[in-house]
Structure 1
Amino acid sequence: MKLLRPPGVYAPQEDTAMLISALRREHLSPQADVLDVGTGTGAVAIAAAHHGAARVVAIDASAAAVLTARLNALLSGYARSIRVSRGDLTEPVTGLRFDMVLANPPYVPSADVRMTGRGAARAWEAGIDGRAVIDRLCAEAPALLRPGGVLLAVHSVMSNPAMTVKRLTEAELDVTVTDRRFVPFGPVLRERADWLEAQGLIVRGQEKEELVVIRAERP
């Protein structure tokens, strides 16, 4: 289905498609509760509802994204299954537990840390190492999983997936990298290619980044 994608709200891209593809390979029970962190347009939340989730909680820090996700849930016919809340990462669901947590967090390394969490750029800016939000997700998501629950998260190789695997493993989850895909640089990465090269995150002339999906399951 076509989604509303107003300016200032992160539009579904290759990372969104990878996360949805990984979601579709997972089994969801008829009573499954799913959390979508950083929902944007609501594309992943809608995919979870379509895949059989009984209840989906979608969270975003952006008021525009929350409104967009609510409208898209309504237009998709899943408004009764999807609840969209505004909040900081997982704060709105503190103390709750889910069968699946889905996340496409900001992961683009940035020289200007002042942009992290501000305006439309909050959808991608993630601090000097690209892990400003990923590290918080690694710390907060494990406590949200029920036994047998699964976290699926997508991010760039530039933001150190090995560290994500390490931190989730330390949280006593069973962790694997399930998907890898090279995608062309978008405008943000093209604009800062020289800086990324200087940081050793890309090589000269590189025009694609590698994305990964990380799967972490609570035993």
Structure 2
Amino acid sequence: MSLNVRRLPGVYAPQADSALLAAALARESLPDRARVLDVCTGTGALALAAARRGARVTAVDVSRKAVLNTRLNAWLAGLPVRVLRGDLLSPAAQGTYDLILANPPYVPAPDTDLPARGPARAWDAGPDGRTVLDRLCRQAPPLLNPGGVLLMVHSALNDPELTLSVLRATGLKATTVERSFIPFGPVLRGRRAYLRSGGFVGPDEHEEELVVIRAERTS
């Protein structure tokens, strides 16, 4: 599945986590004219991938640049993607969906407050990296249609077992469907001392494991 899209300056580029989520999307069966919500859409790469399969896609991002970037890429591709700006699921919370895609910020950061602007807004996620993940785990299940699926990518640094437990507690059937190890990128390399002091990584660790969680509403 191609993630080649235009990227405007200051917008999070599709990377290994986006590719892993795209692989999970490619394996997912979608009903005809499925309603898909892509949260933290960035460039809109995943939204466009779903739209190419005939889905009716809504894409959301808090960043004005990301919203503009997604609209541009949808226009260039000739695909009808509805793009909204706002905080996580709130702009699209009036609807229900057959599939919710999420590549949220998940990198542990020393600051409790999330950045309000700048590139770090795309990855910083509080001291344990779960500030946004936990909100998604609470807010996404009520928006799924019966048989609907949440596909969410994050790092093993964020305790995937906790994600599974929280989603199962909402009544969803949750499993890990994709895993991949990648070398630490610039953000994790620059934050290695904090990650070591917090027990997120060991002194000799130089790779990060990415996971995709699949959670299905079975009734």
Instruction: Give the equivalent residue in structure 1 for 2:15.
Output: 13
Residue pairs, 1:55-94, within 5 angstroms? 55-78=56-79, 80=80, 82-94=81-93
Instruction: Give the equivalent residue in structure 1 for 2:199.
Output: 200
Structure 1 stretch displaced more, 23-32 or 173-182: 23-32
Q: CA RMSD in A?
A: 1.1
**1:91 and 1:115, CA in 2 relative to 1: closer, same or farther beyond 3 A?**
closer
Conservation of the 8 A alpha-carbon contact between 1:85 and 1:92: yes
Say yes or no: does 1:187 pair with 2:186. yes
Q: Deviating runs (4+, > 4 A) in structure 1?
A: none
Deviations 1:29-56 (A, max 9, x none): 2220000000000000001111231x10
Report the Cα distance in structure 1 between the residues aligned to 2:6 and 2:15, rounded to whole angstroms.
14
Residue pairs, 1:98-177, within 5 angstroms? 98-177=97-176
Q: SS of the residue aligned with 1:136?
A: helix
Structure 1 stretch displaced more, 137-146 or 25-34: 25-34
Deviations 1:146-188 (A, max 9, x none): 0000000000010111111011000000000011100111111
Q: Match for 1:43: what amino acid?
A: A
**1:153 and 1:117, CA in 2 relative to 1: closer, same or farther beyond 3 A?**
farther
Report the Cα distance in structure 1 between the residues aligned to 2:216 and 2:171, rounded to whole angstroms.
9
Conservation of the 8 A alpha-carbon contact between 1:179 and 1:214: yes
Q: Which runs of 5+ in 1 are unaligned?
A: none
Q: SS of the residue aligned with 1:70?
A: helix
Q: Match for 2:103: what amino acid?
A: N
Report the Cα distance in structure 2 between the residues aligned to 1:20 and 1:35, rounded to whole angstroms.
14
Instruction: Give the equivalent residue in structure 2 for 1:214.
Output: 213
Report the Cα distance in structure 2 between the residues aligned to 1:32 and 1:165, rounded to whole angstroms.
25
Q: SS of the residue aligned with 2:203?
A: coil
Q: SS of the residue aligned with 1:113?
A: coil
Q: TM-score, normalised by structure 2?
A: 0.96
Q: SS of the residue aligned with 2:5?
A: coil
Q: TM-score, normalised by structure 1?
A: 0.96
